[in-house]
Amino acid sequence: MKGFIFIGFLDLVEEIFGLESVEEIITQSELPSKGIYTSIGTYQFSEMLSLITNLSRNTNISVDRLLHVYGLYFFKIIKKDYPQILDSYDNAIDLLSSVESHIHVEVQKIYPDAELPRFEVTVKDDDTLILTYFSSRSMYAFGLGLMEKALEYYKQDATITYEKIKEDGSEVKFVISKNG
């Protein structure tokens, strides 16, 4: 997992819970990296899992809820650091339906060793987008937060529902339906 994902997460933790919480979860997690990340570095997913699990334990907030909040937060990072991606689209549906064919292609150019989730578009029409998320990391709630922020960014009125196809969250179907 790329370092910029860790850096963003620790920034979020500091912003919401304070620097002491950042230090606490790093210490509790006994990380090989010692919690020192560079944006282009690659680190084991187990470090993220340990950090978020300890934060969940310390705050009594579920891992999925924390991942969702992180997805909401991370959209700001995308907007700031990669505005050209958002400028390439007129609406969230087109953006979200091109994750595999455009966005992940661009990410791979910048970070060739990035391990990305896979999104399969099964339906795309004027009113509905159905995406299936595949990842052994089960960070679908992070993706949900990003999707919600994309709808907000493009000022689109839509509802997102999801269904875990696999109970562990490694395969999830998202349905984005325009309202009205």
Last residue of a domain, one of 61, 77, 97: 61
Q: What is the band of 40 on the pLDDT scale with cuts at 50, 70, 90?
A: confident
Last residue of a domain, one of 61, 83, 103: 61
Query: Position 17: which residue type?
Result: F
What average pLDDT does range 102-107 have in this prediction?
81
Per the structure, the complete domain to which residue 169 belongs is given by: 67-178
Clarify whether residues 163 and 107 are in a common domain: yes
Clarify whether residues 112 and 147 are in a common domain: yes
The per-residue pLDDT for 45 is 94
Clarify whether residues 161 and 77 are in a common domain: yes
Clarify whether residues 36 and 87 are in a common domain: no
Clarify whether residues 45 and 26 are in a common domain: yes
Q: What is the band of 115 on the pLDDT scale with cuts at 50, 70, 90?
A: confident
pLDDT for residue 114 is more than 90: no
Q: What is the band of 3 on the pLDDT scale with cuts at 50, 70, 90?
A: very high
Last residue of a domain, one of 61, 87, 108: 61
* Domain CATH code at residue 76: 3.90.1520.10
Clarify whether residues 146 and 101 are in a common domain: yes
Work out the mean pLDDT of the chain and round it to a whole number: 94
Clarify whether residues 174 and 99 are in a common domain: yes
Domains identified in the chain, total number: 2
* Alpha-carbon span 20 to 61, nearest angstrom: 17
- What CA–CA distances, in Å, run from 55 to 42, 74, 164? 21, 17, 24
Clarify whether residues 37 and 74 are in a common domain: no
Q: Which two tokens mark 78? A: 């995308």
Encode 109-160 in three state secondary structure.
Answer: HHCCCCCCCEEEEEEECCCEEEEEEECCCCCHHHHHHHHHHHHHHCCCCEEE
Clarify whether residues 19 and 74 are in a common domain: no
Burial class (CB in 10 A: 0-12, 13-18, 19+), 5: buried
* Alpha-carbon span 83 to 115, nearest angstrom: 22
Clarify whether residues 76 and 116 are in a common domain: yes
Among the residue ranges 9-13, 101-105, 119-123, 143-147, the one predicted with the least confidence is: 101-105
Q: Which two tokens mark 126? A: 């004027």
Clarify whether residues 135 and 48 are in a common domain: no
Clarify whether residues 35 and 93 are in a common domain: no
pTM for this entry: 0.93
